Amino acid sequence: MKRAENKFQRSYMVAKACVEEIKFQRAEIEKKYIANNGIVNPDGSVPKFLSCMDSDAAFEKVNEECGVLIIAAGLGEEYSSIAQKCNTKAGYIDLSLAQYLDEAKHRFGYAAFELD
């Protein structure tokens, strides 16, 4: 049985799914970058994410290089587009404002997230 939701609920669920997909793809880019470049911490451990790197100097360099890849994948622009509509004066993202998103502008739209 298909669950019924109103427009507000659907917009929220789709925006949340978009944000989660962007985070997932960003993490995958970071993991691939770490593996391809043989990045290890001073103790010999391999960081799972860039934020797990022990050396601040190395992190700054790698974060900048990886950021270019994330932007090239279009994830920064996608996230910014959602954040601009959902930002609050208090400085956090409120996905309940997702009802005001123009769905046609997002590649992770309703069609990508069919909700049961």
Arithmetic mean of pLDDT over the chain: 77
Q: CB burial class (10 A; 0-12, 13-18, 19+) of residue 53?
A: buried
Q: How far apart are CA 70 and CA 1, in angstroms?
A: 38
pLDDT at 18 over 50: yes
> What is the average per-residue pLDDT within 6-35?
82
Question: Residue 43 falls within a domain, yes or no?
Answer: yes
Q: At what angle do helices 75-86 and 7-36 cross, to 10 degrees?
A: 150
Using one digit for the tens of pLDDT, what is the confidence trace for 23-66? 888 899 999 999 999 999 989 999 988 888 988 888 898 889 88
Tokens representing residue 57 in the block: 């100097």
The reported pLDDT for the residue numbered 46 is 92
Write out the residue range of the structural domain in which residue 65 sits: 26-102
Question: Residue 110 falls within a domain, yes or no?
Answer: no
Question: Residue 65 falls within a domain, yes or no?
Answer: yes
The reported pLDDT for the residue numbered 110 is 45
Question: Residue 88 falls within a domain, yes or no?
Answer: yes
Number of folded domains in the chain?
Answer: 1
